[in-house]
Structure 1
């Protein structure tokens, strides 16, 4: 498996983990199932406006006294209400509790005398207006409780000459409903119907339409019903009941479903579709040059070691500390630096004052400046003593040292990289940054906390943020993964890999049998640039070839990392719901 394919797989896996993590966050918020929730909510709407609700409450903690259900529309005892309202017919409560009602006017109705408590009416003052439920004077023990409510509803029907439209809001402020079953018995009189609920599944049993779904905490659960005529409720004339039905149902239901669908699908688009497509379009190589696994000569001596590091080690276009180490070894090989000593303890590196620096490129001159900076105190740089040297520097000197090292690691070489690799035609990093900022503005497009869209409205923030993170990961991948080697350059890249294989494999190096120490020094410089300098040093020691540059290759690498970390500036810090969008009904179940 090639390095490019390995990086591609790593990028896909990391992006996939980010996407699945984002989905998990939204779903955890949507369905956390806290200590108190409704395991089953069964509702049946029969002809004549008769409505039955059966709640299976799950109570997981002590300290509660009420299992209730409140409405946003006016709720009254049977025979008391006028206009658009709901009449409570009965409440069936578990043993040890008593049914009650607090109507739209605030009047308290004790619906059973089975529970005697002289403070009962005082307790019921805690109830909401338009609330019915069961009061447990002695508290509710953890467990499951079934409560059944029966009503007759008198909603306002929006009717034209042929049809009547009813928007029945079953819930918009409630504890989680783990499973919901809705039955519409009067289906023969229905022209059309839509449900605002999550993962709704429809089925028919005789003349009854049954819908199964679930409802996260404080999310809207609605029925949009288009009747062929009004068999109950109050009529209100409108120009077109069909148009009202289509407008309400399509906008609210489809937007909610779209948000949930986006939560499910969008986080998977980048890792499973976009990344493979980018690789196929822009990163897949069209050339297939044949290069042996091992190569026993430097493929291109026109390239300096730091340029080899830039192009052929890791991500094309990025440098690491091996580029600096290799340049020091190369400058010593070419006489611009002088290395004295044959062990870590007495190794010293100085700039050769007899050499003219005119022939050096900008990067090599930066390395000369680095060695001068590290040699200032003793007149020579001793890599073994780098940590103490940096500690003895003034703050200004440490900052200068850090800036020099940063310049060497971020040296601008786009022109050279551009000669070898064609980058993707779009800026993935730019898109990532744009999505990051867009994620803060998208929630403004809808009422973020509206029960109509909550909790899937959270995806307007979480999903763009996740996609931005996924694209950021893509932008960090080596440029050659989603770019392509230019004509003829892939062959050179494979040759450098073959040369690296030779230097890395001690068993293969003897086959080259270079007798000239100069060749070993050259291999050492390029091997260090490719990250296998230690293997070349080991091979030289096996042959008894002792040169200062070999010891320098090992000591310099350690010394440079020490200089970088010790000179880095330290950082310090100091600490110093609305309604459900309309409709008749609303409210929901709760435990108090």
Structure 2
């Protein structure tokens, strides 16, 4: 075999290996998703603390899940609290499902049902500070879109120049295949996404944090904001030495 033919074969093999590696890189995340995944997650933070989340849950195998949900690490409440908390406003649920909120103090509210048995089940099975949808007959395979709306009342550390906001979203969860979080750019000086592999992209007057997240990776956003942001976010300010 002459030298030119050997080189051609090596190039062909290397090209084939590269193509195979690309295919595996795309396929492997799907192989490890399991039979329940968040196919799409889109969230938007307003300058006034309004936070809207849209979840698209993908159930790959029917008859296994009765609850599709997210919980908060910080207290979730429909009423004002005297400490930092997530203020629940409302939710939009798919037809044929029951929406629920279980607040930080175990108070349960249902949307789409007044059956005491449903409330009892949610009270027993859901964690505190959890919102989600419930199907007593189990969810068939398919996609289920849910929208949650809150007003955030976070702790805000500040000094004479800046305000620090640490938005903790979730730390125990199923995989997020496609995630995108939009935050206003006007007061932002620096953004630190968690996990760090998430991409931060400017888009007009906003920043978009995007990517995919494996199960149980901590998801959150730390932002260094201007001092003026302290007056816009309905949080709980704490002065720290600069």
TM-score (structure 2 length as normaliser): 0.82
Alpha-carbon offset, residue 214 of structure 1: 1.0
Q: Quote the Cα distance in structure 2 between the aligned partners of 1:181 and 1:72.
A: 20
Change in Cα spacing, 1:54 to 1:122, as seen in structure 2 (3 Å) is same
Give the superposition deviation at 1:208: 1.4
Tell me, yes or no, if the aligned pair for 2:73 and 2:168 is still in contact at 8 Å.
no
**Which residue number in structure 1 is paired with residue 69 of structure 2?**
68
What's the offset of the Cα at 1:235?
1.0
SS in 1 for 2:186: helix
> CA 1:30 to 1:167, structure 2 compared with 1: closer, same or farther past 3 Å?
farther
Task: Give unpaired runs (5+ residues) of structure 2.
Answer: none
Equivalent position of 1:115 in the other structure = 113
1:203, distance to aligned residue in structure 2 (A): 3.1
1:191 to 172, 189, 192: 189
Q: Map 1:358-369; keep pairs closer than 5 Å.
A: none
Measured at CA, do residues 59 and 198 of structure 1 come closer, stay the same or move farther in structure 2, by a change above 3 Å? farther
Contact 2:99 2:132 in 1 (8 A): yes
C-alpha distance 156-31 of structure 1, shift in aligned 2 (>3 A):
farther
Q: Deviations over 1:151-184 (max 9, x none)?
A: 1111111111110111212221100000011101
Cα 1:124/1:226, change in 2 over 3 Å: same
Q: In structure 2, what is the equivalent of residue 106 of structure 1?
A: 106
- Cα deviation digits, residues 382-427 of structure 1 (max 9, x gap): xxxxxxxxxxxxxxxxxxxxxxxxxxxxxxxxxxxxxxxxxxxxxx
Residue 136 of structure 1 corresponds to: 135
Contact map agreement 1:57 1:144 (CA 8 A) in 2 = yes
Q: What residue is the counterpart of 2:44 in the other structure?
A: 44
Aligned residue for 2:122? 124
Q: Which residue of 1 aligns with 2:180?
A: 181
Matches of 1:83 and 1:31, distance apart in 2: 42
Shift of 1:116: 4.4
Matched, 1:239 2:241: yes
User: Which structure is larger by alpha-carbon Rg, 1 or 2?
Assistant: 1
Identify, as 1 or 2, the structure richer in strand.
Answer: 2
SS at 1:105 equivalent:
coil
Per the TM alignment, residue 88 of structure 1 is displaced from its structure 2 partner at its CA by 0.7
Residue equivalent to 1:495: none
| 8 Å contact kept, 1:198–1:214 | no
> What secondary structure sits across from 2:198 in the alignment?
strand
Offset from partner CA, 1:522-542 (integer Å, 9 cap, x none): xxxxxxxxxxxxxxxxxxxxx
**Rounded Cα–Cα distance in structure 2 between residues aligned with 1:208 and 1:142:** 35
In the aligned structure 1, how far is the partner of 2:31 from the partner of 2:46?
30
SS in 1 for 2:48: helix
- Going from structure 1 to structure 2, the CA distance change for 1:203 and 1:63 (only over 3 Å counts) comes to same
**Pairing 1:12-91 to 2, within 5 Å after superposition:** 28=28, 32-61=32-61, 62-77=63-78, 79-91=79-91
Q: Cα distance 1:220–1:86, how it changes in 2: closer, same or farther (>3 A)?
A: same
- Is this contact kept in 2: 1:91–1:133, CA < 8 A? no
Structure 1 residues 173, 31: CA separation in 2 closer, same or farther (over 3 Å shift)?
farther
Task: Give the total of aligned pairs.
Answer: 220
Q: Judge conservation of contact 1:96–1:115 (CA < 8 Å) in 2.
A: no
Q: What secondary structure, in the 3-state scheme, does the structure 2 residue paired with 1:94 have?
A: coil
The alpha-carbon deviation at position 139 of structure 1 amounts to 2.1
Partners of 1:30 and 1:57 in 2: how far apart?
14
| Separation of aligned partners in 2, 1:212 and 1:71 | 20
Report if aligned partners of 1:75, 1:88 keep a CA contact under 8 Å in 2. yes
| Displaced runs of 4 or more, over 6 A | none
CA distance in 1, matches of 2:197, 2:83: 35
Compute the TM-score of the two structures, normalised by the length of structure 1. 0.35
3-state SS of paired residue (1:48): coil
Alignment of 1:22-421 (within 5 A): 28=28, 32-61=32-61, 62-77=63-78, 79-110=79-110, 112=111, 114-125=112-123, 126-185=125-184, 187-197=185-195, 199-229=197-227, 230=230, 231-232=232-233, 233-240=235-242
CA pair 30-217 structure 1, distance change in 2 beyond 3 A: farther
Distance 1:200 1:119 in 2: 41
Does the 8 Å CA contact 1:182/1:212 hold for their aligned counterparts? yes
